């Protein structure tokens, strides 16, 4: 199994380029099968989750070519409503294929999707929206069968679920009449999906707010689209730069997508500038003085992203004082803390949702294990800070969400290498 070997306490310098957003591309790719002609999607990150999604789409007949972060999808031969069961079990985000399949065929069969073990993530919210759209649902031998063309009307989500919002949008775009989605999530990736669909001929308004309106159309055509920058990847490297007190340029980015993160980082003493380069914006970190502890609570957008909670905890081990981290989204997202404690961090898990961190503590290199995508990134940051050598196992998780993390970090001065591939 592949591992990272990292010798810590190196200053970083230079530029880290941010890829397209994983959580946008994973929805835009399946949305492309709704068209009657090929689409070209650029700025696709080269990560394993994207590879799995592409294989799932191929399993239902899509012809897909990829080169240099560009995917060309020809939906002309999509003829199956039964995506590959084994592939679906490897990717939680594969649930968003169900909306397009129902819109296209009025029929979908699938098993429970897989993904990171970061807490309970039932598909009940998805099934609920499909029932509201008139879909008949049955479950037999662990396999769901959904039958019926989605009907327009008012849909009320149980909570601000990103993927349920996206499934509702994709299910509704070809439904005659007006569909109104209430209690919709407002993440930028949802707005990017709606932008892609509108380029295809859909009529969607309000994406990025909690009320989305969709006027059904009879057909969609292929288009070209550039996936927006990955705010989580940008935030991860931004935190890595601050944790190592390094001067790094990180981008391209859309600064407003990380407003609350920037506010919290600046509150703890980080020095961050937003600079323009060739019409795009980048973060530029500057050396700072002593960091101080800051509390966070994760929320749906525009709140503090749950995907940056674990990197922020690693940063708080290097800040003076006590910070409280309130994880409101997932109850299993503190698995990485066991590894941080092994490295010398001082933290107390108060509940499955609350951890108290005491800093500043000296981290020491150890052999540790990544157990999910974002927790793995947090451990990489810890290894960059730690004294001595750290071995990080479980790179298959990190590779799911970060393209060439070792190469990007090595290019800016980190002493990191991948071994055992």
| Identified catalytic residue from 19, 116, 180, 268 | 116
* 19 is known as an active-site residue: no
Distance between CA atoms of 123 and 358, rounded to whole angstroms?
36
Print the SS3 string covering the chain. CCEEEEECCCCCEEEEECCECHHHHHHHHHHHHHECCCEEEECCCCCHHHHHHHHHHHHCCCEEEEECCEEEEEHHHCCCCCCCHHHHCCCHHHHHHHHHHHHHHCEEEEECCCCCCCCCCCCHHHHHHHHHCCCEEEEECCEEEEECCCCCCEEECCCCCHHHHHHHHHHHCCCCCEEEEECCCCCHHHHHHHHHHHHCCCEEECECECEEEEECCCCECCCEEECCECHHHHHHHHHHHHHCCCEEEEEEECHHHHHHHHHHHHHCCCEEEEEEECCEEEEEEECCCCCECCCEEECCCCCECHHHHHHHHHHHCCCEEEEEEECCCCCCCCCCHHHHHHCCCEEEEEECCEEEEEECCCCECCEEECCCHHHHHHHHHHHHHCECEEEEECHHHHHHHCCCHHHHHHHCCCEEEEECC
Instruction: Answer for the pair 363, 317: CB distance below 8 angstroms, yes or no.
Output: yes
Give me Rg for the CA atoms of the chain: 21
Q: How far, in Å, CA of 52 to CA of 55, rounded?
A: 5
Residues classed as catalytic = 116
């Amino acid at each position: 199994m592949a591992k990272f070997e990292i010798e810590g306490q190196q200053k970083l310098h230079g530029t880290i380029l941010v890829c397209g957003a994983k959580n946008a591309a994973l929805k835009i790719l399946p949305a492309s099968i709704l068209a009657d002609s090929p689409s070209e999607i650029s700025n696709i990150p080269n990560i394993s989750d994207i590879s799995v999604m592409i294989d799932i789409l191929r399993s239902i007949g899509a012809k897909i070519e990829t080169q240099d972060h560009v995917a060309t999808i020809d939906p002309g031969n999509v003829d199956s409503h039964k995506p590959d069961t084994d592939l679906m079990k490897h990717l939680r985000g594969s649930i968003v294929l169900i909306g397009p399949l129902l819109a296209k065929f009025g029929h979908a069969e699938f098993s429970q999707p897989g993904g990171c073990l970061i807490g309970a993530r039932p598909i009940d919210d998805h099934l609920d929206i499909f029932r509201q759209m008139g879909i008949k649902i049955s479950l037999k031998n662990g396999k769901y069968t959904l039958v019926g063309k989605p009907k327009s009307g008012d849909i009320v989500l149980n909570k601000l679920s990103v993927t349920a919002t996206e499934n509702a949008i994709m299910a509704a775009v070809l439904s005659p009449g007006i569909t109104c989605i209430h209690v919709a999530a407002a993440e930028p990736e949802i707005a990017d999906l709606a932008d892609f669909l509108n380029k295809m001929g859909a009529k969607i308004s309000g994406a990025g707010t909690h009320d989305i309106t969709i006027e059904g159309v009879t057909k969609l055509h292929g288009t070209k689209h550039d996936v927006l920058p990955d705010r989580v990847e940008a935030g991860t490297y931004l935190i890595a730069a601050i944790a190592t007190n390094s001067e790094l340029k990180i981008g391209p980015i859309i600064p407003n997508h990380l407003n609350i993160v920037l506010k919290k980082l600046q509150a703890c003493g980080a020095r961050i500038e937003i600079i323009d380069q060739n019409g795009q914006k980048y973060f530029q970190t500057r050396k700072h003085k002593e960091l101080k502890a800051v509390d966070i609570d994760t929320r749906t957008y525009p709140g503090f992203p749950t995907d940056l909670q674990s990197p922020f905890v690693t940063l708080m081990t290097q800040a003076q004082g006590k910070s409280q981290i309130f994880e409101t989204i997932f109850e299993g997202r503190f698995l990485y803390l066991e590894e941080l404690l092994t490295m010398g961090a001082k933290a107390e898990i108060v509940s499955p949702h609350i951890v108290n961190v005491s800093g500043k503590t000296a981290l020491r290199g150890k052999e540790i294990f990544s157990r999910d995508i974002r927790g793995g990134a947090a451990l990489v940051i810890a290894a960059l800070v730690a004294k001595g050598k750290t071995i990080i196992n479980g790179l298959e998780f990190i590779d799911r969400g970060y393209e060439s993390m070792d190469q990007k970090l090595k290019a800016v001065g980190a002493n990191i290498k991948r071994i055992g591939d």
